[in-house]
A = this chain, B = another copy of it.
């Protein structure tokens, strides 16, 4: 295994894989780092450097073989596996997550959903029946789950994450606006639109036009 690869590099690889998959679908066989970079808004040098962590993919001046590079990235990222997920929190956001059509085609299968509201527990959503949040541990005891999606209010999130981690989940997709605490062997990705907005306003602010300043 290659080690010491910066997280930001790993974060970019799925973006490359997605672009390559689109190129493959359109019948393209070869793509240059230049073209890929233009398409994705990164420099060709960045792409070559990111890929260099994993060996040599392209022939100098000949570009990348689309299918081969895609397959390599899928293997590197584990996209050729099937992964199981549970969703905790079946409010408006949790429902949007459950109804999102983009997970399954990428190998991410939601196998259970949990909520703390007795009015929601027992409700059928697609092929799943919502279970009580107190049952997370026993559910995970009988079924291996790779990833937990946390769509609860902030106040409930850490407790839910603890239960998921105790149940053997090693990756958390966290929609709750908290800084989650997990053991070192567990990965967390936060999805927090407010933090994303706040990191953009830094740039907006530096060029606020008089007409839009408030």
Contacts and interface: CB of A to CB of B under 8 A. Distances in A.
Interface of A: 1, 7-8, 10-11, 13-15, 17-19, 39-41, 76-79, 81-83, 85, 92-93, 95-97, 99-100, 102-103, 106, 108, 144, 146-147, 149, 170-171, 173, 177, 179, 181, 185, 187, 189, 191, 193-208, 211-214
Nearest to A214: B82
Nearest to A77: B202
5 contacts: A15-B179, A103-B194, A103-B197, A170-B204, A191-B191
Best-surrounded residue of A1, A13, A103, A146 (most CB of chain B within 10 A): A146
Contacts of A170: 203-204, 207
A169 to B, nearest CB: 10
A105 to B, nearest CB: 9
A11 B197 CA distance: 10
A99 B92 CA distance: 8
A96 B175 CA distance: 12
A134 to B, nearest CB: 24
A40 B203 contact: no
B214 A181 contact: no
Contacts of A77: 198-199, 201-202, 205
A135 to B, nearest CB: 20
Contacts of A202: 10, 13, 76-78
Contacts of A211: 144
Contact of A79 (B82, B193, B201, B213): B201
Contacts of A15: 179, 195
A67 to B, nearest CB: 18
A171 to B, nearest CB: 4
A205 to B, nearest CB: 3
Contacts of A85: 197
A200 B179 contact: no
B96 A92 contact: yes
B146 A212 contact: yes
